[in-house]
Amino acid sequence: MERTELALIQRAIQGQPDAWQALVRTHETRVYNFGLRMTGSVDDAQDLLQEVFFSAYQNLSGFRQDAQFSTWLMRIAYNRAVDQARRRKVRDADPLPTSTETVDDRPGPAAETQSQQRNQQLQSWLAALPLEQRMVIELKFFQEMTFDDIASLESISPNTAKTRFYAGLARLKTLMGDCDGLF
């Protein structure tokens, strides 16, 4: 863990709001995008984001620093996403906003529309997967975790993580069919 982040954590534990705000700003996009892919809904992703950071803030003094802060935060996000999925069915995806583009980097209207259509289609395919498969695909592709990390996070064996991952990919391939024109 970087010294800067460790210092921010210590300052946040001591009650310094600017330190907590810096931690939130550092990790909010990652947590939000995770929530968006897991829930398929902008509103649910925002709810998840708030739940994750509220829980993290409440439990910050319990952070043992034996793992990366981002890993600890993603564990909270994972647990909240599973809880949220149990509480409600995944709804059809809302249009996905692009999260890291600046005004100068934005594509033209036609390219942006096509990108939104691709994102919506991908969201619907991911939403069609069972939660266990969707979660492993999210953690592997978008969070760039290893199968060992995924296994630890989900309290499963690495082989189970691999099985879920490859079963999810096979299901996605079936759902996608021939979509060369789309991607």
Return d(Cα 14, Cα 61) in angstroms, integer: 9
Range from 78-92, 124-138, 165-179 carrying the lowest mean pLDDT:
78-92
What ranges do the domains of the chain cover?
Answer: 1-94, 113-183
168 exposure class (CB count in 10 Å sphere: 0-12, 13-18, 19+)? buried
pLDDT range class, residue 94, cuts 50, 70, 90: very low
Query: Is residue 130 scored above 70 in pLDDT?
Result: yes
CATH 1.10.1740.10 fits 1-94, yes or no: yes
Mean pLDDT of the chain: 82
Query: Is residue 181 scored above 50 in pLDDT?
Result: no
Same fold, 1-94 and 113-183: no
Helix, strand, coil % (nearest 5) of the chain?
75, 0, 25
pTM of the model: 0.65
pLDDT per position as a tens digit, 95-127: 444 444 444 555 566 666 666 677 777 778 888
Is the Cβ–Cβ distance between 73 and 58 less than 8 Å? no
Q: For residues 26, 29, 31 and 33, what is the CA-based torsion angle, rounded to 10 degrees?
A: -160
Return d(Cα 111, Cα 133) in angstroms, integer: 30
Return d(Cα 4, Cα 64) in angstroms, integer: 16
Is the Cβ–Cβ distance between 81 and 52 less than 8 Å? no
What are the tokens at 17? Answer: 């709001």
Query: Is residue 147 scored above 60 in pLDDT?
Result: yes
Query: Is residue 90 scored above 70 in pLDDT?
Result: no
Q: What is the CA radius of gyration of the chain?
A: 18
Place of tokens 């529309």: 113
What pLDDT does 180 receive? 52
CATH (one of 1.10.10.10, 3.40.50.10490, 1.20.140.10, 3.50.50.60) for 113-183 = 1.10.10.10
Percent over 70 (pLDDT), the chain: 80
